[in-house]
Structure 1
Amino acid sequence: MSKTWFITGTSSGLGNIMMKKLLERGDKVFATLRNVELLDDLRQKYPNTLETAHLELTDKHEINTVVDKAFNAFGKIDVVVSNAGYGIFGAVEELTDEMIVHQIEVNLLGSIRLIKAVIPYLRSQPTGGHVIQVSSEGGQIAYPGFSLYHASKWGIEGFVESINHDLESFNIHFTIAEPGPTGTSFASSINMANKMEEYNHTSVQEIRDLINEGFGQLDNAEEVVDKIIASNDQRKPPLRIAIGDRAKTNIKKHLKERLQSLE
């Protein structure tokens, strides 16, 4: 049976790959992005199963308007994928106030507002619904120089874990997807803060060099998307899925260290 999906951040990366895979298998997709013209060709190819809309996650009014439009367009939405987001990099004193606010506005508050907007619709559907929040291994572990990115990802994971309890009686399921470094344009799109020479010989500079080199070995984006989609095929979707060997290894190591510290 085909399903209907709402996906944010579909211009590129995981969101774009996911949208195309779902359309190819016959599902319906309401895709949001900031440059709608990028999907004009795809809309012509899938005139009955693809709807698109402009969405800027810092615009509270637009979030509600687009969610209303999506549910009105298809009658119901089975799966909501909160995927849009980006990263900023720099030691905390290298970050401007504008960078800090925008990172939290997009990755954390934008995701919270989106999920809040879809809940009344999902709650009223007899079949409930499934919300997939795309996080990263950075929602469980922390690298130097990514303090605000981690703040947004750790924050959204805590939010989702809590409302998962709030809404379990309404047949609304939540999944947090935690991929490791993946072969998308994420590294090249990171907003880099201006360097301070004081950090030239620190772990912050080591990570900066790693970013400039492309993040090292990357997971296959197609396989990452397949695993995210597969989480919806389970009768009771998992709350968390770590995707890729690197993510699983890093998260397991971190959790063991935390447990050891607790003991």
Structure 2
Amino acid sequence: MAQRHWLITGVSSGFGRIMAERLLARGDRVAGTVRDLSVMDGLKAQYGERLWLTKLDLSETGTIRDMVDRAWGALGRVDVVVSNAGYGLMGAAEELTDEQVCHQIDTNLLGSIQLIRATLPHLRAQGGGRILQLSSMGGQVAFPGGSLYHATKWGVEGFVEAVAQEVEVFGIGCTIIEPGGARTDFRHRSARLGPVLAAYDASPSRMVNRVIADTNRLSPGDPVKMVEAMIASVDQTPAPRRLALGSDAYRAMHAQLSARLEALGAQRELACSTDVLAGPDAESAQPWYAATVSKRP
């Protein structure tokens, strides 16, 4: 296999670190971002020029385009962009501070959007490439206590879903990665909680506080196997639009989507009755977006 060049945000730990290690071990080149360069000293010493590193705080969106330009300059080209950096802000919506809300959106949503936007001119100029956007089963399913995290993941999935259709003509493929719980340090290192309001002790949102506090609770997902599946997806043509990873992700997403389809089906008659031409001919009308909607799941 020919050497590939990868740009990965957030390579200091979790999926990003595992991916960087496995790619470097097989001979690829990696441009990685971290908030603290010192945590990468060992990997940098081992792989030298094949690992290019720079500091990046994804919430500082004004610095992203310069980082992308420098990464392309260092590697010459980037075959795969992995938008991985992010974290989970947990707690009932009312409990979170305004500052926490803004930082979560700036990091997970706006940071991911601006990263992808910054890479598109380079990918077009070189004739194509792949974008892997790390989401979560939380981009399809919502649980109490995760409202702001879900808002960013549902938001970025909608963004990538549209962008994928915009850029396919340029040979750029986009895949949304939707892992379930994995045995990384996400819950006990990356996740953050809002202040606790006693009124919410009776709310199901308090579940997330207990889950994060319980260090003995193990997630089912193997992060190495998940990363291997992410890497392997780059060899699939066309690019899979979504990649569900983990039995918990599959079960939760399948149940949620099935319930939504059932609820939608029950509203078919009502939905069609509100058209200008209500009745049997309503569904044959062509909406303005009909020609642009991708038929591929």
Category of TM-score, reference length = shorter chain? over 0.9
> Bigger CA drift: 132-141 or 49-58?
49-58
Who is 2:117 aligned against? Answer: 116
Who is 2:34 aligned against? Answer: 33
Local SS of the residue matching 2:7: strand
8 Å contact 2:91–2:194 — kept in the other structure?
yes
Who is 2:164 aligned against? Answer: 164
CA distance in 2, matches of 1:217, 1:65: 37
> Bigger CA drift: 192-201 or 148-157?
192-201
CA distance in 2, matches of 1:102, 1:59: 10
8 Å contact 2:220–2:246 — kept in the other structure?
no
Who is 1:177 aligned against? Answer: 177
Give the TM-score, by structure 1 length: 0.97
What is the CA distance between 1:207 and its match in structure 2?
Answer: 3.0
Deviations along 1:14-40, one digit per CA (max 9) or x if unpaired, are 000000000000000001110012112
Local SS of the residue matching 2:48: coil
Structure 2 counterpart of 1:50, which letter? L
8 Å contact 1:89–1:145 — kept in the other structure?
yes
Structure 2 counterpart of 1:6, which letter? L
CA distance in 1, matches of 2:81, 2:184: 21
Percent of aligned positions that are identical: 44
1:12 to 2:35 alignment: no
Who is 2:290 aligned against? Answer: none
CA distance in 2, matches of 1:193, 1:63: 27
CA distance in 1, matches of 2:255, 2:238: 27
What is the CA distance between 1:213 and its match in structure 2?
Answer: 1.9
Closer, same or farther: CA 209–60 of 1 in aligned 2, 3 Å: closer
Alignment of 1:23-172 (within 5 A): 23-126=24-127, 128-172=128-172
> Bigger CA drift: 194-203 or 134-143?
194-203
Aligned residue pairs total 262
What is the CA distance between 1:216 and its match in structure 2?
Answer: 4.3
CA distance in 2, matches of 1:121, 1:245: 36
CA distance in 1, matches of 2:36, 2:208: 31
Closer, same or farther: CA 178–161 of 1 in aligned 2, 3 Å: same
Who is 1:224 aligned against? Answer: 226
> Bigger CA drift: 53-62 or 8-17?
53-62
8 Å contact 2:88–2:191 — kept in the other structure?
yes
Who is 2:240 aligned against? Answer: 238
Structure 1 counterpart of 2:27, which letter? G
Who is 2:209 aligned against? Answer: 208
8 Å contact 1:78–1:130 — kept in the other structure?
yes
Deviations along 1:174-198, one digit per CA (max 9) or x if unpaired, are 0000000111111012111111111
Local SS of the residue matching 2:243: strand
Residue ranges of structure 2 left out of the alignment (5+ in a row): 266-297
Who is 2:275 aligned against? Answer: none
8 Å contact 1:210–1:216 — kept in the other structure?
no
Deviations along 1:52-102, one digit per CA (max 9) or x if unpaired, are 011111223321111011111111000000000001111111011001000
What is the CA distance between 1:41 and its match in structure 2?
Answer: 1.9
What is the CA distance between 1:158 and its match in structure 2?
Answer: 0.1
CA distance in 2, matches of 1:207, 1:184: 17
Structure 2 counterpart of 1:257, which letter? A
Who is 2:198 aligned against? Answer: 197
What is the CA distance between 1:50 and its match in structure 2?
Answer: 0.8
* Larger CA Rg, structure 1 vs 2: 2
